[in-house]
Amino acid sequence: MVLIQVWHQVFQISIKMVRIILYIVTFLTGYLAFAQVGINTSTPSAMLEVNGDTKLDKKLYLEDPGDNLEIRGAKLLIERSDNSIVQYDIDKSKYGPINYAKLVFENTSKNGITDYDTKISTTDYIVGIQGYYFRGYSDGNTSIVSQSSVSTNDIEGFQVYAYKNLVTNTWFIRAFVNNSIFRRTDNANITVNIYMNVFIFRTGFISKEIPSLDIDMGLLPIKTASKPTGF
Amino acid sequence: MRKFLLLITLLTYLPTFAQVGIGTTSPDTDLHVAGSMLVQKEFNINQLDTVASTDEDFKLLTRIKNSSPVGEISKLDVDNLTVAPINLVNYRFHNLLGDNLTDVNLQLDTDKYIVGIANFRYIGDAVQKLILPGDDGFGNFVLRVFESGGEWHLEIGNRFLDPLIGGTVEYQLTLIIYDKSYYRKLDPIFTDMNGSNTGVASSIPDIN
C-alpha cells in the first residue's frame, strides 16, 4: 500500500523528484526482503515458501531446526547416490543398517559345522554370531551334550563364529566344539539342529570394521589392552 | 521513467510464478541456490520421497553442532570417521596363564561406548574336570564385559578349572563397540526370582 500511495504522488510532482522517488522505491523494494517470500505461491506460510523443487549447489545449514524427543514416528534422512535427499524406510529399503537373521542348521553332523557359505558379501556386510544353541535333529531332544575325544575329564571350548572367506569374498560360518562330537545323554549317535542368532551390519552406513588387535597376555591374567585405532 | 517505476512496483507486488535463481541466471528448479543456504529456524519438506528398494550405498544425514555457521547438514561417512556408530574389532588374546583372562582393561570409555561380544572362539586345550578326587563339577566358565573405573573390561575363562600344566589356550572374539549417541544404555532391571526359574520383569524401560 505504501508503494501505491507513493506511485499516485508521482503524478503530482516534477520530474526532478523522480530520482528521489526512485531511491525510495528501491529502498522499499529492499525492505520487502524482511517480509515473507513465496516462490510459486502468493500466500507463503513461512519466511520462505518454495512451492516446487529446490536445488542447492553447496551446503545447507540449519541453525535451529528443533529437537525430536520421540524415538518412534520419525524417519531418518538419507542422501542417495544421485544426491537427492529422501527418507529412510526400513520396510522398503533393500537392507537395514543392522539386520538380524536366525540361522537354523538342520540335520548337522555330530562334528558340527566346519564350513558353511552364507553367500553374504564381505564387501557390503559384517557378519557375526551372538548366540546359539543346539538340540537333536530327529526328535528335538534337548538333552544333547558334547563329548571330548581326548579325555572324559576334558571340558572343551566352543567355537561358533563367522569369518571371511578371501576366495569367495563371502562370510562363512563355523560351529563346533574342540575335539568333540555331539551326542545324546544315552550315548546315541545323532545329528543335531544348530540354531544361531546372526547379525548382519551393512558397511559404509553406520557400521565399520576397525583393524584387529593382537594382545599378548605375557602369562598373566590381568592386562591393559591397547585401544582400537581411532578410539 | 513512469513506465519503469510502474514495472518495478508491479514486480514488487506480483508473486513470483517463475523459477528463481540465487547466484545463477539459469535456475534448474523452482528455487535454485548456486551456493550455500542458512535456515535460521525450521526447515519443512512437504514432499519427501522414500528410499527405493533398489537404492544402495546411501548415506545417513547428520547435523553438525560445531560447524560455522552452526548446523551444517552433512553425510555420515563412516569410512572417514575414526569412530562410527557401530564399530567391529577382532581381538586375539594369546600367551595366557592357563585359560585365565581375569581382567583385561579394554580402555574404552563407558561414558561414550557400549560393548558387546560376538564370534567367540576358545582355541586350544581343554580345562580339566577334576579339581579334587570325586569332584566332577564343570566349574564356571565366564565370558563377559564389565564396567570398572569408567572403562570397559573383559573377563574370559573358567574361574575354577584350568588346563593341564603345559596346555595352551587362546581366545578370539569380535567386540561390537556401539557409540552412545546412537545406542542408548538403559538402567539395569533387577528382578527377585524368589528361588523360581520363571519370572516376570519387575519394570519395563520407558522407551516409547
Which tens digits make up the pLDDT trace of B9-58? 445 545 556 889 999 999 999 999 999 999 999 998 888 999 999 999 99
The shortest C-alpha distance from A24 to chain B (Å) reads 11
Mean pLDDT along residues A19-27? 57
Angle in degrees, CA B25, B16, B1, rounded to 5: 80
Cβ-based neighbour number of residue B111 at 10 Å? 8
Is B79 close to A204, i.e. CB distance below 8 A? yes
> pLDDT of B53-74, one tens digit each?
999 999 999 999 999 999 999 9
Q: What is the mean pLDDT of chain A?
A: 87
First vs last C-alpha separation in chain B: 66
Contacts of A85 in chain B (CB under 8 A): 45, 48, 61
Q: Does position B6 have pLDDT exceeding 80, yes or no?
A: no
pLDDT reported for residue A11: 47
Residues of A within 8 A of B86 (CB-CB) are 98, 201, 206-208
pLDDT tens profile A77-126: 999 999 999 999 999 999 999 999 999 999 999 999 999 999 999 999 99
Cell numbers describing residue B147? 564396567
Three-state secondary structure call for residue A8: helix
Radius of gyration of chain B (CA): 30
**Chain A to chain B, count of Cβ pairs less than 8 Å apart?**
350
Residue B186 reports pLDDT greater than 70: yes
Examine the pLDDT at A20 and tell me if it is beyond 60. no
- Rounded to 10 deg, the angle between the A2-10 and B2-13 helix axes is 170
Say whether B8 and A29 touch across the interface (CB within 8 A): yes
pLDDT at A7 over 50: no
pLDDT value at residue A183? 92
Give the burial class of A139: count Cβ atoms within 10 A of its Cβ; 0-12 exposed, 13-18 middle, 19 or more buried: exposed
N-term to C-term CA, chain A = 63
Flag whether residue A157 sits within 8 Å of chain B, measured between CB atoms.
Answer: yes
Would you call B51 and A78 a contact, using CB atoms and an 8 Å cutoff? yes
pLDDT over 90 at A17, yes or no: no
pLDDT on residue B169: 97
| Subunit contact A154:B129, Cβ cutoff 8 A | yes
Q: What is the pLDDT of residue A108?
A: 96
As for the ipTM of the complex, it is: 0.84
Percentage above 90 pLDDT, chain B: 72
Share of chain B above pLDDT 70, in %: 88
Query: pLDDT, tens digit, for every residue of B123-149?
Result: 999 999 865 666 667 889 999 999 999
Does the beta-carbon distance from A62 to B43 stay under 8 Å?
yes
* C-beta atoms of A62 and B27 within 8 A: no
Sign of CA dihedral B101, B102, B108, B111: positive
Q: Which residue has the higher pLDDT, A139 or A55?
A: A55
**Are the Cβ atoms of B38 and A61 closer than 8 angstroms?**
yes
Position B162 pLDDT exceeds 80: yes
Segment B181-205 shows an average pLDDT of 90
Average pLDDT over residues B155-169: 93
Task: Say what the pLDDT of residue A72 is.
Answer: 76
Using only C-alpha atoms, what is the Rg of chain A? 34
- The confidence score (pLDDT) of residue B10 equals 47
Best mutation target among B22, B75, B89 (most A Cβ atoms within 10 Å) is: B89
Are A166 and B41 contacting, i.e. CB atoms less than 8 angstroms apart? no
Please, which pLDDT band fits residue A15 given cuts at 50, 70 and 90?
Answer: low
CA-based nearest distance B23→chain A, Å = 10
Q: Is pLDDT of B89 > 90?
A: yes
A17-26, A41-50, A208-217: which range is least confident on average? A17-26
Q: How many other C-beta atoms lie within 10 A of the C-beta of residue A82? A: 7
* Mean pLDDT value across residues B1-12: 52
CA-based nearest residue in chain A for residue B52: A93
